Amino acid sequence: MTDVPRLEDCVFYHSFDLPGHGRIEGIVDLTVDPDTYLGNVAFAGKRVLEIGPASGFLSFHMEQAGAEVVAVELPVDHPWDFVPVVGLDMDAVQAERVVVMERLRNSFWFAHAAMASAVTVHYGDAHALPDTLGRFDVSVLAAILEHARDPLGILNECARVTEQTLIITEVLEQTLGDLPIAKVVPTAENASWHTWWTFSPGFFRSYLPAIGFGDLTITTCERRNANEMQTFFTVVARRSSPPAAELVP
């Protein structure tokens, strides 16, 4: 992007303290101790893939920690992965979402300019990452899988291109316990069109070793999300076996 968007044309998902602009409040505030939210992984010298950067707070934080960051975001003409809730005007929801997503992209590029960032963005489908993106030391999926109809498709694709570490954060629902559970969120009563799943930590503890990431640590932290405090869990999964393609004789 060559032209920096205007502030009034932005919607900020993340809160920022931006050089030259001061404090900007977003829906989610990760400004206090973002390293804990990311599992205290060291990013210096790492090539990092981030799925769904939103306003880019984590992108720029990892870059400032010494990483080369490539973010993957939906293109403008790509439909949101909506839950097809009966009774909602999904055409109207989609039309509104296109506007919101454009303003969200604007917030990323506004912050990108303010931070004098070199983070690059690939606009495309996270289920099918092009080989031209290359390989990565670390992949970050922060509060993304809950919004995907096929979360394992995205997770498997990230695992395919990641040499060392997967970082996954999700909201912790205490009622799920630690069994390997992916709970469907939408019901006829809540009409949730934007969130498909909530996961237990045990879901990732069970699945990730099966795709070669068997060295796991799981931590929790609290962050402000939409004016309320929520508990998130962070999975840091390190590769314990070669990629599947390398196992084929």
Q: What is the pLDDT of residue 228?
A: 86
* Share of residues in the chain with pLDDT > 90 (%): 77
Average pLDDT along the chain: 92
**CA-to-CA distance for 115 and 100, rounded, in angstroms?**
23
Q: What is the pLDDT of residue 247?
A: 45
More confident residue, 234 or 89: 234
CATH topology of domain 7-247: Rossmann fold (3.40.50)
**pLDDT tier at 216 (50, 70, 90 boundaries)?**
very high
pLDDT at 29 over 60: yes
**pLDDT tier at 115 (50, 70, 90 boundaries)?**
very high
Query: 174 — alpha (psi -120 to 50), left (phi > 0) or beta?
Result: alpha
For residue range 41-75, list pLDDT tens digits in order: 999 999 999 999 999 999 999 999 999 999 999 88
